[in-house]
Each structure stands twice: as structure tokens, then as C-alpha cells.
Structure 1
Amino acid sequence: MTDFDYGPIEFYAIGFDGDRPGPAVLQAIDDLVAAGTVNVLDLVFARRSPEGEIEVLELSDTIDDGGAPALDLAGLAGQDDILYLVEGLEPGKSAAILVVELLWAKAFASRLWEAGGAVIAREGIPAPVVNAFLSENAE
């Protein structure tokens, strides 16, 4: 049996008004970790100044009370990744760049590999889009 050290990972850019997300963001991430859904590999914050400049903040620069989650692979999101993900960030807004391992998919990926298969394409649809579509098309 093939056991991968890590399952599939995903990068998320989560946008916010203002220069940094509130503490509820870290709580939502902690809830996912506690449920065993994801493993947080990296988390950084970026903000675009009113002049249009991007500033990248490490997690430790944004947490005052020591309540930061443990990061398995801090630094995994490189500068190029971050700049790509926040390309459309408007001045005066911020984003959390979250890199997570999908724990629910780890065993599935191992079994696919053993069977000679692999995921060759994936497309995500954000929850607001799904819900808007379903509410517009409800019978």
C-alpha cells in the first residue's frame, strides 16, 4: 500500500476590506483543523496600500496574542505565488494566503496512485457562486 506523506494541497487567496482580516478568520481555520478536514501548511497576509503597493506580512507579524496556528511548511507560498494570487487585490484591501493539505483526500490519492490513476484536472466553484446559481434555478 502506498502512503503519501502529504495529500493534495490547495492555495487560497481570501480577500477582505481593510488592511487585515479579523480574528474570526483564524477561528474558522482552527475549526477546519480541529475537524481533521485540513492541515495548514502555510498562511501569510498581504495588503495593497492606497497607492497600490503590495506588502506581505508573515503570520507572526499579524497576531498579537500568540494564537497563531502551527504551520507545517511555513514559507511554502513563495513571493511569486503570493503576488499571483493577490494580483486583482484592490487598494485598501487585504488577503489571507492560505495553503492547506486536504486531509480528506490523502487516502483517496494513495488509492488512485496504486490503481494507476491520478487526478488530471480539477476545477473549483466558489460557494457563493454555487448558492446563487441554485437559488436562481430552484423549482
Structure 2
Amino acid sequence: MTTFDYGPIELYAIGFDGDRPGPAILQAVDDLVASGTVNVLDLVFVTRSLDGELSILELSDTSDDAGVPALDLAGLAGEDDIAALAEGVAPGSSAAVLVVELLWAKAFAGALYDAGGAVLAREGIPAPIVNAFLSEHVG
């Protein structure tokens, strides 16, 4: 069976009020890494000032602060990716651009490749929407 060095990768832009997410968010990401669910490849914080100016902070540019996840491929999110994902950041708010490897899907990707298969489409549905729908439609 084919063994890939990396599994599928997903990019997320996660918005926050204020200039940065709280420590609970970094802890949740760290928990996912510790459980072997994901591998954090890159993490960038963007902040839009009240006058509309965008500031970008690569997590790899910070000191070795406790609670900051280790990055496997810092810089993987390119400037164009960051700019596109940051378009929706409103003045006075911020976002984390998170690039994660889906470790849970790594072996499946190898088996899919060996079988001549390919993922043709993928659509994500955010948890709040799923939960709202199910609370209205399921017993």
C-alpha cells in the first residue's frame, strides 16, 4: 500500500472579535495534535485595525512561548492565501489562518490512491449549522 509522508491538508480562516483568540483556542488545537487527529503545519494571525489596515503575524516569528503549538511547515500558507482568507476580517477583529494535516485520513488517502480513486469534491458544514439543523429535525 502507498504510504504518503503527509495526509490531506485543509486551510481554515477562523474569525475572532478583538485582536487575537484566547488561550482556550490554542489549547484546543494542541489537544487535537496530542490526540493524533491533526498536525499543525502553519498558523498565522491576522488583525484588521479599526482604520482597515491588515497586520500579519506568522506564529513561527514569535518567541518560544508556552502554549504555542509546534509548526511542522511554517510558511506553508503563502501571502496570497493569507490575503484571500483575510478578506472577510472586519475592522477591529482578527482571524487565525490555520493549516492542518488530517492525520486521521492519511492511510485512507494511500488506499484511495492505490485503488485509482480520487476525492472529487468536499464540502464542509460548520458545527453550529449542523447542531441547529439537528435540534430542529431530530427527535
State the TM-score bracket (shorter-chain normalisation). over 0.9
Q: CA 1:17–1:63 in 2, change beyond 3 Å: closer, same or farther? A: farther
2:19 maps to: 19
Which amino acid in structure 2 is aligned with residue 87 of structure 1? E
Q: CA 1:62–1:94 in 2, change beyond 3 Å: closer, same or farther? A: farther
Which amino acid in structure 2 is aligned with residue 26 of structure 1? L
Q: Percent identity?
A: 77
Which amino acid in structure 1 is aligned with residue 86 of structure 2? V
1:134 maps to: 134
Shift of 1:61: 5.4
Which amino acid in structure 2 is aligned with residue 132 of structure 1? A
**1:88-135 per-position Cα deviation (integer Å, ceiling 9, x unaligned):** 111000001100000000000000000010111100000011111111
Residue 57 of structure 1 aligns to a residue whose secondary structure is: strand
Q: CA 1:104–1:55 in 2, change beyond 3 Å: closer, same or farther? A: same
CA distance in 2, matches of 1:2, 1:61: 35
Shift of 1:67: 3.0
1:31 maps to: 31
1:93 maps to: 93
CA RMSD of aligned residues (A): 1.5
Q: How many aligned residue pairs are there? A: 139
Q: Is the 8 A contact 2:60 2:74 kept in 1?
A: no
TM-score (norm 1): 0.94
Q: Is the 8 A contact 1:60 1:68 kept in 2?
A: no
Residue 33 of structure 1 aligns to a residue whose secondary structure is: helix
> Unmatched 5+ residue regions in structure 2?
none
1:84 maps to: 84
Residue 128 of structure 1 aligns to a residue whose secondary structure is: helix
TM-score (norm 2): 0.94
5 Å-filtered alignment, 1:1-139, equals: 1-60=1-60, 65-139=65-139
Higher mean C-alpha deviation, range 58-67 or range 105-114: 58-67
